[in-house]
Chain A
Amino acid sequence: MPAYINSIGNISPQHSLDNNLFLEEVVDHYGSHLTCKEPNYRDFIAGANLRRMSRVIKMGVSAAKICLEEAQIDNPDAIIVGTGLGCMEDTDKFLSAIYESNEEIISPTQFIQSTHNSVASQIAIMLGCNNYNFTYVHRGFSFESALFDALLQFEEDESVKNILLGGIDEITPNYLSITGRLRQWKPNEYSQLSLLANHLRGSLPGEGAAFFMLGSEQAQHTYAQLQAVGMRYKPADESEITQYITGFLASQDLAIQDIDLVLLGLNGNTELDKVYYRVRDLLFKHNHLGYFKHLCGEYKTATAFGMWLAAQILHKQRVPEAVKLEPFQAKNINNILIYNNYSNINHSLLLLKNV
């Protein structure tokens, strides 16, 4: 069942805290990775609660708080979080402490905070919310699984009205160092808005915490409608992908030409981006195309940023220039399809509609 995106809280490498703004000013992080424009966390979290929180927990809880406040809801019917890697900073610290102390005297705090469900549970504790609480941790399906679960709940149970849902992942120094050694990222410093023009090996690491209040009914602030979510694991080739996409759209009574904007998960990795370009050539030759990972970077829940982008485009009926893959003028944007794949393993589709 479709759901309405009734509020948003997005902490990202862009100025996305204020939902009234929308990429009027695009942040170009010159360097080799993107990190979030962080708010003053004290504005969102009481000091006593802040003291044990690592950065990703602060980001997640603050983004959730912004979302809850905009929706004016303090007891959602479910809290669902997707995260590819969870709380890495706490994991790093606890692992280091095991070595440094030779397993003797170790503070428990980082261990407690490092569990993958930390953000979802901190939100529940903060709100005193006893309802459904779930955390998905499956690579490029983490955020998608959360969405899938939410849509299923609206279908299963009429009494479920509002679901708070988010995607979170953080960059830490050790993460950059280890994935850098695995040659996942472009090694040089460059203007990241020109990500696709940089042909060095690898992609651009990023991070973010984006939360959404999904509702079974439209609300005052509704941004857009989330129509459907699709996941395809390890498709054999491009033809399986294109068949999957056309089948997915057909199940929503849509054809390729009905899609007013396709947002591709292009991430600058020339090898992996070939898949997107082939799919474009096979399916989307006549569609308007956009991309977003030069704005948020690549991470396992980057589609949460993509969903923010699509919802804002539909709501404001404006496609920011920086998002366009090629120049175009778009009018009456009704359907946006996000097509993403994580390492050509986890292929996913998000379909959003104007309301």
Chain B
Amino acid sequence: MGMVSAIGFDVPQALHALRHCQTGIGPIRFLQTRHRGTLPAAEVKASDYELATLLGLDDIRDYSRTALLGIMAAREAAAHARLHEHPYLRTGIVSATSVGGIDKSEVFFGEFLKDQARGGDLHYMVSHDCGDSTERIADDLGIKDFVSTISTACSSAANAIMLGARLIKAGMLDRVLVGGSDAITRYTLNGFNSLRIVDENWCRPFDQNRNGLNLGEAAAYLVLESARAVEESRKTPLAELSGFGNANDAYHQTASSPDGAGALRAMQLALHQSGLTTSHIDYINAHGTATPNNDLSEGQALKNLFKDYLPRFSSTKSYTGHTLAAAGSVEAVISVLSLQHGIIIPNLNFKDPIAELEIAPVVAFEEGIALRSILSNSFGFGGNCSAMIFSSC
């Protein structure tokens, strides 16, 4: 696994922050925006230049921040899984992004709008499309056997993980790097702000008085391997992806349905595939964006699925912010960490349960717990709903 986020440049740093309940959300320091000083965000604590230095890259004019973050997390994951030791195994990458290289396009656009014929550095447009960051990661690691990119808004990385798992299951690949990367941009910050769902304070998932999300940025990747590859390399797997489900809420472009029909269906599909029942789920890493709509709808879907026996749950977006297309893999990494270390990361900033639901997330750090299976949810605009179940090996 590899992850770069507001709570650290790698997985050990993130684990340290999570164990100590330290959020990565704070005043905006790196993004050039008018909202600096008013809106908080969960930035990776380095400029593009600093990221490039850390990565040993010289000329980054046509590297988007999404690509830089992606390369950093992917390198960590590849090293952790020791991908280089078995180069003959068929290896692919399925990556997710929603902003792609918009961070560079928006710099270009400022000059371009003034002078269409000459304005703006064209280097900045080379990385605009979503496939760019995936190919840069693939080239950095020498991955060739399967290369694709998924964009289903905030459920993207969960879907990338699912496709990767299917490719392994079908015997098409031995190993696959899966996950997502999304940099924070003025585009998305202003986008969510125009929807009036960005909180000016720390986000409060599942709280009665929650007032929106905090935007974050991150890249997180996991290496999925077939049983054969694991056997050949004599590795101990960190966890098993035991089930996943994809559904569409088919309700509204931005709003979730009141009963969370799509979310419920995705969770049911995941459970069905895993062969587990609700009683096997020991913890839920919720989507929990802290928008009034999501948390109510997701909470309702959770209640409908688990009835009176809702397991412990929390939203770790109170640490990492909402990392959009990367959220699914960020939370997959956190879920695997929970399984590995027997820990539950509490929800920050929670006070009062949502009146309609009367459910409360975990608010204190817990450790020494034998966790069998964890459910992780990721939902997105356009009704895209995904759920995954990670189980201890």
Task: Please report A residues at the B interface, Cβ cutoff 8 Å.
Answer: 79, 84-86, 91, 94-96, 98-99, 102-104, 106-108, 111-113, 115-118, 120-122, 124-125, 127-139, 141-142, 145, 149, 152, 155-156, 174, 177-178, 181-182, 231, 233-234, 300, 345-346
- Please tell me if the beta carbons of B382 and A102 are within 8 angstroms of each other in the complex: no
- Please tell me if the beta carbons of A115 and B35 are within 8 angstroms of each other in the complex: no
A-B contact pairs, 18 of them (CB 8 A): A108-B191, A111-B195, A118-B382, A124-B382, A127-B250, A130-B247, A131-B247, A132-B246, A133-B247, A133-B382, A134-B150, A135-B150, A138-B148, A142-B131, A152-B166, A152-B170, A233-B135, A233-B144
Q: Given A103-B34, A124-B383, A181-B122, answer yes or no on A117-B146 (Cβ-Cβ < 8 Å).
A: no
Contacts of A233 in B (CB 8 A): 135, 138, 144-147
Contacts of A130 in B (CB 8 A): 247-250, 261-262, 265
Q: Given A103-B186, A108-B194, answer yes or no on A117-B152 (Cβ-Cβ < 8 Å).
A: yes
User: Within the complex, what minimum Cβ distance (angstroms) separates A218 from chain B?
Assistant: 24
Contacts of A133 in B (CB 8 A): 152, 246-248, 382-384
Q: How many A-B residue pairs have C-beta atoms within 8 angstroms? Tell me.
A: 184
- Stretch from B48-56, B109-117, B229-237, B358-366 contacting the other chain: B109-117
User: Which residues in window 130-164 of B have CB below 8 A to A?
Assistant: 130-131, 134-135, 138-139, 144-153, 159, 163
For B114, give the chain A residue with the smallest CB separation: A99
The 4 closest A-B pairs by CB, nearest first: A121-B382, A111-B191, A116-B151, A139-B131
Query: CB within 8 A of A115: which of B144, B153, B261, B265?
Result: B153
Contacts of A141 in B (CB 8 A): 131, 147-149
Question: Does residue B190 face the partner (Cβ distance < 8 Å to A)?
Answer: yes
- Please tell me if the beta carbons of B148 and A115 are within 8 angstroms of each other in the complex: no
Contacts of B151 in A (CB 8 A): 86, 115-117, 135-137
> What is the total number of residues of chain B having a CB less than 8 Å from a CB of chain A?
67
Give complex CA distance A181, B190 in Å. Answer: 28
- Please tell me if the beta carbons of B251 and A95 are within 8 angstroms of each other in the complex: no
- Please tell me if the beta carbons of A117 and B246 are within 8 angstroms of each other in the complex: no
User: Within the complex, what minimum Cβ distance (angstroms) separates B27 from chain A?
Assistant: 16
Contacts of A106 in B (CB 8 A): 190, 193-194
Contacts of B192 in A (CB 8 A): 111
Question: Does residue B22 face the partner (Cβ distance < 8 Å to A)?
Answer: no
- Please tell me if the beta carbons of B113 and A107 are within 8 angstroms of each other in the complex: no
Contacts of B200 in A (CB 8 A): none
Contacts of A149 in B (CB 8 A): 163
Question: Does residue B304 face the partner (Cβ distance < 8 Å to A)?
Answer: no
For B118, give the chain A residue with the smallest CB separation: A181
Query: CB within 8 A of B129: which of A94, A111, A139?
Result: A139
Give complex CA distance A102, B32 in Å. Answer: 12
- Please tell me if the beta carbons of A136 and B247 are within 8 angstroms of each other in the complex: no
User: Within the complex, what minimum Cβ distance (angstroms) separates B247 from chain A?
Assistant: 5
Query: CB within 8 A of A128: which of B33, B163, B170, B250?
Result: B250
Question: Does residue B306 face the partner (Cβ distance < 8 Å to A)?
Answer: no
For B249, give the chain A residue with the smallest CB separation: A130
User: Within the complex, what minimum Cβ distance (angstroms) separates B186 from chain A?
Assistant: 6
Query: CB within 8 A of B110: which of A91, A99, A111, A128?
Result: A99
User: Within the complex, what minimum Cβ distance (angstroms) separates A125 from chain B?
Assistant: 5
- Please tell me if the beta carbons of A135 and B144 are within 8 angstroms of each other in the complex: no
User: Which residues in window 236-286 of B have CB below 8 A to A?
Assistant: 246-254, 261-262, 265
Contacts of A145 in B (CB 8 A): 148-149
- Please tell me if the beta carbons of A79 and B248 are within 8 angstroms of each other in the complex: yes
- Please tell me if the beta carbons of A138 and B130 are within 8 angstroms of each other in the complex: yes
Q: Given A111-B194, A130-B262, answer yes or no on A137-B382 (Cβ-Cβ < 8 Å).
A: no
Q: Given A96-B113, A124-B250, answer yes or no on A112-B125 (Cβ-Cβ < 8 Å).
A: no
Give complex CA distance A193, B72 in Å. Answer: 47
User: Within the complex, what minimum Cβ distance (angstroms) separates B87 from chain A?
Assistant: 15
Most buried by A among B33, B152, B166, B186: B152
Contacts of A91 in B (CB 8 A): 102, 187
Question: Does residue B106 face the partner (Cβ distance < 8 Å to A)?
Answer: yes
Query: CB within 8 A of A121: which of B167, B191, B253?
Result: B253
